[in-house]
Amino acid sequence: MLASGILGYSAETLETIVKGGAAAVVTKSVGLKPRNGYANPTVFQTNCGLINAMGLPNSGIDEFVKEIRSAKNVLNVPLIVSVYGFSAEEYATVAEKASIAGSDAVELNVSCPHVRETGSEIGQNPEVLAEVVRKVKAVVSKPVFVKLSPNVACVADVAETAVKAGADVLVVMNTVKAMAIDSETAMPVLSNKFGGLSGAAVKPIAVRHVYDVYEKVKVPIVGCGGITSWRDAVEFLLAGASAVQIGTAVATEGSQVFKAVAEGIDAYLNRKRFRSVKEIVGLSHRK
Ligand code: RRO
């Protein structure tokens, strides 16, 4: 799947991703009201990944439902709308509108690392997180994904809270809170100072969290964090993910990365004489 936040706004760009081999697409996060996001610079390339602090730029759900409808007209794969809010009611309102417009599932962003009073500030508070999930489940009959933050003491505990509140699927994980400082200006590079690190650097962190979460809960896990090659994807499946999302590698490798990863997984399964992906989900947990 295409991870949230990468090219996730217009039907045209989502179509390019599907042509590149993605089996599902997740949109950029959308909220109740339009937001400009942060001033530039919003992205910085390190030697091992990207640090971003976009600041949730989006058109607001009432405008975005038009994109959802036109995307549904052209896409032949599931469309998952990523949703955020500043309260449980806001999450529920936005998720309901996305669902009515045709979203096949909603992904609750309770893990943006750097916007105040939403994202990980929701995800790291068990009572608030549970309320968000319950309120969304009460108004949306489609599957509810919950995208977790690595910036908490125990991701598996948060996973358990989300599942007890009704989460159908967990996405592990959002970006790792990070920053870069320019030695010449002696100032933080990003206008927001802090951002979220994605890409190759975070993959071992994400694999570890998927492994932990798989031991704790029974719902399907979608692995996300630094997947660039089929071998990275297989590692997530062996850790316990049933599917994977790719984000940063779309920027570095292009949209064909999905095809390359899917074909590589197929070749691996054939070589190892497995009949389906299901046979390797969580296989590294065997005693
Ligand atoms: O918009 C962002 O800056 C952003 C979001 Br919503 C998120 O969930 N994760 C991230 O790294 N950046």
218 CA from centroid of ligand 1 (Å): 27
Of the residues 48, 112, 154, 224, which is catalytic?
112
Position 153: which residue type? A
Which of 54, 86, 117 best tests ligand 1's pocket when mutated (most atoms within 8 Å of CB)? Answer: 54
DSSP string across 154-171: -HHHHHHHHHHTT-SEEE
CA-38 nearest atom, ligand 1: 3
Give the residue-averaged pLDDT of 84-112: 97
pLDDT at 119: 84
Give the residue-averaged pLDDT of 181-207: 98
Other CB atoms within 10 A of residue 16 CB: 15
Is residue 124 over pLDDT 90?
A: no
CA 122-124-130 angle, to 5 degrees, is 65
pLDDT at 239: 99
CA-56 nearest atom, ligand 1: 1
Is residue 81 over pLDDT 90?
A: yes
pTM: 0.97
- The protein residue with its alpha carbon nearest to ligand 1, atom 1, reads 56
Banded model confidence at residue 77, pLDDT cuts 50, 70, 90? very high
pLDDT at 121: 86
Give the residue-averaged pLDDT of 30-52: 96
Is residue 9 over pLDDT 80?
A: no
pLDDT in tens, 228-284: 999 999 999 999 999 999 999 999 999 999 999 999 999 999 999 999 999 999 999
208 CA from centroid of ligand 1 (Å): 21
Burial 242-252 (b: 16+ CB within 10 A, else e): bbbbbbbbbee
CA-114 nearest atom, ligand 1: 3
CA-84 nearest atom, ligand 1: 6
Instruction: Please tell me the distance from the alpha carbon of residue 200 to that of residue 61, in angstroms, as a whole number.
Output: 32
pLDDT at 31: 97
113 CA from centroid of ligand 1 (Å): 7
- The binding-site residues of ligand 1, defined as CB within 6 angstroms of any ligand atom, are 5, 29, 52-56, 109, 111-113, 119, 174-175, 196
- The protein residue with its alpha carbon nearest to ligand 1, atom 8, reads 112
112 CA from centroid of ligand 1 (Å): 5
Instruction: Please tell me the distance from the alpha carbon of residue 286 to that of residue 57, in angstroms, as a whole number.
Output: 43
pLDDT at 110: 95
Banded model confidence at residue 88, pLDDT cuts 50, 70, 90? very high
- Concerning whether 112 is annotated as a catalytic residue, the answer is yes
Is residue 8 over pLDDT 80?
A: no
pLDDT in tens, 170-182: 999 999 999 999 9
pLDDT at 117: 84
Q: Which two tokens stand for residue 76?
A: 């032949």
- The protein residue with its alpha carbon nearest to ligand 1, atom 5, reads 112
pLDDT at 30: 97
- The protein residue with its alpha carbon nearest to ligand 1, atom 3, reads 54
- The protein residue with its alpha carbon nearest to ligand 1, atom 9, reads 112
Give the residue-averaged pLDDT of 156-169: 98
Q: What rounded mean pLDDT belongs to the chain? A: 96
Instruction: Please tell me the distance from the alpha carbon of residue 231 to that of residue 61, in angstroms, as a whole number.
Output: 37
CA-147 nearest atom, ligand 1: 8
284 CA from centroid of ligand 1 (Å): 30
Is residue 113 over pLDDT 90?
A: no
pLDDT at 140: 98
266 CA from centroid of ligand 1 (Å): 31
